[in-house]
Amino acid sequence: MRDHTPDFKMHELNADDKALIRQTVQQLLEKLAGDGKLNGDTLLEFWVEVPGVKRPRGTFRGGILMPDSFVYISDYFHSDADAPHVLKPGASYAAEGGSLERAWDDLLDELYYQVEIFTSPLSFVKGVTLELWAGNRQRPEGEWVYAVDRKIELGQVFAG
């Protein structure tokens, strides 16, 4: 049996890029919660555009756009009936006495790791655009029912 795992060296995003991603994701999720649209099926999705690399975005039948990756926000956060416009740590965090900050750290660690995988073949990230969406689809691969989105350009060098 052949191993089809790509051979690449992981590069850690620099502190400026991590801060920009964190700020952007926080704005998207605060908007989502503020609009009362956070529920168990809410997703955070992203697409990474790498300069000079041509690859079509994935589609299902009917040409539905699929992102590079997604994360279920409900794994990290929820809102409740008493405060529907406020992000609270998810059930697993609350059960362990975890804080909102720990939920943020875990979500962002997962997102940074996934972005690092998609940018790992590069020696620098200048010109790489990260497109982020947060919201709800009719089903994970369907059209957006509600979404907030933002594009950001990553910086110039990796850490380390």
Which amino acid, one-letter code, is at 49?
E
Non-local (6+) Cβ contacts of 29 within 8 A are 38, 44, 73, 77, 87, 134
Q: 3-state DSSP call for residue 100? A: helix
Say what the pLDDT of residue 39 is: 83
Q: Is the pLDDT assigned to residue 123 strictly greater than 80?
A: no
The pLDDT tens digits for 21-64 are: 999 999 999 898 888 888 888 889 888 887 776 665 555 555 55
Q: Is residue 8 part of a domain?
A: no
Q: Is residue 2 part of a domain?
A: no
The range of the structural domain enclosing residue 27 comes to 15-153
Q: Is residue 7 part of a domain?
A: no
Q: Is residue 129 part of a domain?
A: yes
Contact 33, 87 (CB under 8 A): yes
Contact 46, 133 (CB under 8 A): yes
Q: Is the pLDDT assigned to residue 159 strictly greater than 50?
A: no
Q: Is residue 127 part of a domain?
A: yes
Parallel, antiparallel or unpaired: strands 64-65 and 129-137: unpaired
The pLDDT tens digits for 139-148 are: 666 778 898 9
**Number of domains, the chain:** 1
